[in-house]
Amino acid sequence: MTTPGEEMHALVRRLYPLCRSITGDGVRATLDVVGEHLPLEVHEVPTGTQVLDWTVPQEWNIREAWIADPSGRRVVDFADSSLHVLGYSVPVSARMPLSELRPHLHTLPDHPKWIPYRTSYYKPDWGFCLTQETLDALPDGEYEVRIDSTLADGHLTYAEHVVPGQVSDEVVVSSHVCHPSLANDNLAGIAVAAFLARSLAERTPYHTYRFLFAPGTIGAITWLARNAGRVERVKHGLVLACAGDRGALTYKRSRRGDAGIDRVMRHVLETSGRPHSIREFTPYGYDERQFCSPGFDLGVGSLSRTPYAGYPEYHTSADDPDFVSPEAMEDTLAVCREVFSVLDRDRRYVNLSPYGEPQLGRRGLYEALGGRSDAQEAQMAMLWVLSLSDGEHGLLEVAERSGLPFDTVAAAADALHGAGLVKV
C-alpha cells in the first residue's frame, strides 16, 4: 500500500516533463493531470484583458527547439528537457556562427553540469539554456538554430477547487503552475495542495477552502482582479511553494504580521517540535505579495521548506524529482492539516455562567475526566476556557496563555458547550 508521500511523489514525476509557462498548453496539460485527483473549475482569460495594473499577455506554445553543430548533430534539444529553451522565446529559424549564437546561450559556470531556468515573459527575445560543459565543448563554425514556437492571442489559464465549509468565510490555498521541469519550486506545492484538498473534503470543515492553481504573479493578479468584489470573504490564506525538499519548514508571515494564519502557524510549528524558522514578511517571493498588497491586505502567509533561492538547485535542472522526497512532502501536508484543524476550531466563546466559577461536578464534567491520564490538564483547560470566554478571546489565545495543548483546550470547550456553560 502506497503512502500519501509516495502518491504525491508519483504525481511530481508525472508532471515533471511537461513544459509549463505563464500561459499555454503546458498549463492546461498540468491542470488536466491535477484534475484526475480532484475536480477543478478551469478559467480561461483572454489575451489583452486588463487585470489591475497588468494586461493578460499573448499565449506562448512551443513544439520543438534545437541547436545543431557544424556536423549537423543536435547539441541542445528541447525534447531532452523543457528547461533548454528560454521561456517565451520567439520563433527562430536561422544559421549563424558560434560567436553570434553565444549571447543567446545561458549557463551556470559555478555548476557546469546543471541547466539553468530562464525566461523572458514581457520582452521579446529568444535563447537556449544548457550546461557549461556542453558550451565549453562547442566547436567554432556555423550552427543551425530552430525554435518552433508561437506567440499569439489566446488565454491565461488557471483553476480552482472549492471544499465547501460550514460558513462562507474562505481560506485560500495557492500554488503556482508556471514553472517547467522544476520539482520542488512548483510541483511539490501543487502535489501537497491537491492532497490537502482531498483530505479536507473527507470531513466538512468549518471554513470554506478555495484552492487556486495559477501562474505566478500574473495568475494571482488575474484572480484578484476577477474576484475583487468578494475578497472580503477571504479570512486566511496560505501560499505553498518549495514544499518537498529535505530542509526544515519555513513560514513567512503575512504583511500584517499578526494575522490569524500567522498565529496558528507559529503555534503549530512551535508545539510540534519540528525544526523550523519563521520569517517576517518581505514584498518579494511568491504570490503572498499579491494577496498582501496594501489594497487587499489579506492575511496570507507562505509555507515552504527551504525558501526560494535558498538552495543551490533552485531554478536549475538539479531541482528534479530525486531532489524532493515523499517524506518531506508528507510532513508538509501533515503541518497544513494541523494548521487548518486549529484554524477551523479556533472560536470565541461566551461564558453563560460568568459570575463566579460554575459547579462543574454536578454537571458531570469532573466524572467525564475520571481515569484520564491528563485529567488535571483537562480540568485546567476547562477553567481557562471559562475564564477567557468573554467573546474577546479565541481558543488559540487560551492555549497560548495557559501553555496547554490546543487540542486539550478545544476538547474542554466542546465539553463546556455540551453542558450548556458556554456558547459561540
Choose among 330, 344, 338, 334: nearest CA to 163.
Answer: 344
Q: What is the DSSP letter of 112?
A: T
pTM of the entire structure?
0.94
- 184: nearest Cα among 134, 135, 245: 245
Closest CA to 206 of 338, 334, 345: 345
CATH homologous superfamily for the domain 4-55+155-345 = Zn peptidases (3.40.630.10)
Nearest to 39 by CA among 225, 163, 168, 171: 163
pLDDT of residue 89: 98
Cite the DSSP H helix spans in 90-165.
98-101, 132-136
Buried b or exposed e, range 232-267, using 16+ CB within 10 angstroms: eebbbbbbbbbbbbebebbbbbbbbeebbbbbbbbb
Q: What is the C-alpha R_g of the chain? A: 26
DSSP state of 40: -
Q: Is 245 annotated as a binding residue?
A: no
**10-residue mean pLDDT series, the chain (424 residues):** 96 97 98 97 98 98 98 98 98 98 98 98 97 98 98 98 97 97 97 98 95 98 97 97 97 96 96 95 95 97 95 98 98 98 94 88 67 70 92 93 92 90 90
CATH code 1.10.10.10 region(s) in the chain: 348-423
- Which fold is adopted by the domain 348-423? Arc Repressor Mutant, subunit A (1.10.10)
End-to-end alpha-carbon separation of the chain, Å? 42
**Binding site annotation covers 207?**
no
The reported pLDDT for the residue numbered 157 is 98
CATH 3.50.30.90 residue spans of the chain: 59-152
Strand intervals (E) in 72-141: 74-77, 92-97, 105-106, 128-129
393 known member of a binding site = no
Please say whether the beta carbons of 314 and 308 come within 8 A.
yes
CATH number corresponding to 59-152: 3.50.30.90
Span(s) in the chain for CATH 3.40.630.10? 4-55+155-345
Q: Which residue has the cell 461536578?
A: 361
Block residue for cell numbers 496563555? 401
